[in-house]
Amino acid sequence: MPATLEIIASWSLAFSYIISVTYYLNLLGAFGVRLTPFDDQTSARILTSIVLLAVLIIGWWKGFRALEALERISVGLKLSIIAGLLVGLAIVFGDRAGAGELAFNAPKETGWGAVTLLFGLIVTVQGFETSRYLGEAYDARMRISSMRLAQAVSTLIYVLYIGLFSYLFSVSELKVTETAIIDLIGLVAPVLPLFLIAAALSSQFSAAVADTGGSGGLFQEVTRGLFSEKRAYVLVGACGLVLTWAANVFQIISYASRAFALYYGLQAAIAAVAAWRQAQKVHALMFGLLAILGIAITILGVPVEGD
């Protein structure tokens, strides 16, 4: 039973990677044209397609190590810019708190609608399983430590950003678009949007490259070598281009969230079965509930509607 579930989960994750790469690069396209005269959906999709093809050509031509080198540069740039943005936001937060000017907004979405909306946003806070499928490049100890470090750093960044942003802007200043954060952060300091775009471009690029690399290793693993990494890159590119031109960013985010929720739900089911067999009934119950939650998210997640 666990072995069968593991196979199904691996296949679900393999196709989740295809959607997530598309999601990351569609956000990159939206941010890339945001402050240009070509700020429209078609231009964003063209940029997304160009970057998607470039990543896959490099992966096909040079392999995983070339993708890894691209990601290393991008991640270093991203983390340095994010640190600077957090410091800037913290300073403004402190000033406004001292002046009693923080914003306290009532929830716009409540009840079941808010729950299903959260279901459709899981992909924005996931992505720590990638190195699990890079066994040919790194040993188990390195891969485990990398996933734990990624979770710790990402959690810190998410909590700080959400905490700072939630009280800096009123509802009247909020607009639901792919790049609305640029307008918001411009209200804090005019120079910050440029840094934010640089961070967004490097962030989405590195995430896309990571999942492209992960997909290659995963497809090779689940097919037991019949499907090579390079063929996986081609599959990612072909499906990514179709999704880019067939759906908007918010729909792709929802698709990716639901696909990853299915993977996590199946993994939780595997853990539940293993715990039950070891007579760990409390753990089995907890994992079982997580499995049910994962399946519920897969079925019920909805996309954010842009203005």
Compute the average pLDDT of residues 126-133.
62
Name the more confident of 281 and 132.
Answer: 281
Whether 307 is in a domain gets the answer: no
Determine the longest span between alpha carbons in the chain, in angstroms.
64
In a domain, 255, yes or no: yes
Instruction: Give me the domain span that covers residue 121.
Output: 2-300
pLDDT band, very low/low/confident/very high, at 199 (cuts 50, 70, 90): confident
The DSSP secondary-structure symbol of 135 reads T
Report yes or no on 84 lying in a domain: yes
Going along 75-184, which residue ranges are E strands?
A: none
What's residue 46's pLDDT?
93
* Mean pLDDT of the residues in the chain: 79
Query: Could you tell me which residue, 68 or 198, shows the higher pLDDT?
Result: 198
- Predicted TM-score (pTM) of the model is 0.67
Confidence of residue 275 (pLDDT cuts 50, 70, 90): very high
Of the two residues 265 and 78, the one the predictor is more confident about is 265
Count of domains in the chain? 1
* pLDDT given at position 49: 92
Which of the four pLDDT bands, split at 50, 70 and 90, describes residue 218?
Answer: confident
What does the pLDDT read at residue 307?
A: 44
Q: Using an 8 Å Cβ cutoff, are 271 and 142 in contact? A: no
Between 91-95, 206-210, 291-295, the lowest mean confidence (pLDDT) is in: 206-210
Q: What is the pLDDT of residues 95-122, one digit of tens each?
A: 888 888 888 877 776 777 777 777 766 6
Name which of 19-23, 29-33, 181-185, 250-254 the model is least confident about: 181-185
User: What does the pLDDT average to over 188-207?
Assistant: 73
How high is the pLDDT of residue 209? Answer: 75
How buried is 133 (Cβ within 10 angstroms: 0-12 exposed, 13-18 middle, 19+ buried)? Answer: buried
Is a pLDDT exceeding 90 seen at residue 287?
A: yes
Residues, the chain: 307
Percentage of the chain surpassing pLDDT 70? 81
Query: DSSP 3-state assignment of 141?
Result: helix
CB count within 10 Å of CB 191 equals: 11
Q: Would you say 173 and 185 are in contact if contact means Cβ atoms under 8 Å apart?
A: no
* CATH number of the domain that residue 53 is part of: 1.20.1740.10
Instruction: Indicate whether 71 belongs to any domain.
Output: yes
Q: Tell me the per-residue pLDDT of 41-59, one tens digit each, with 9 for 90 and over.
A: 899 899 999 988 887 887 7
The SS3 of residue 177 is: coil
The predicted model gives 228-249 an average pLDDT of 84
Considering the domain boundaries, does residue 305 fall inside one? no
> For residue 255, what are its two tokens?
């698709």
pLDDT at 69 over 90: no
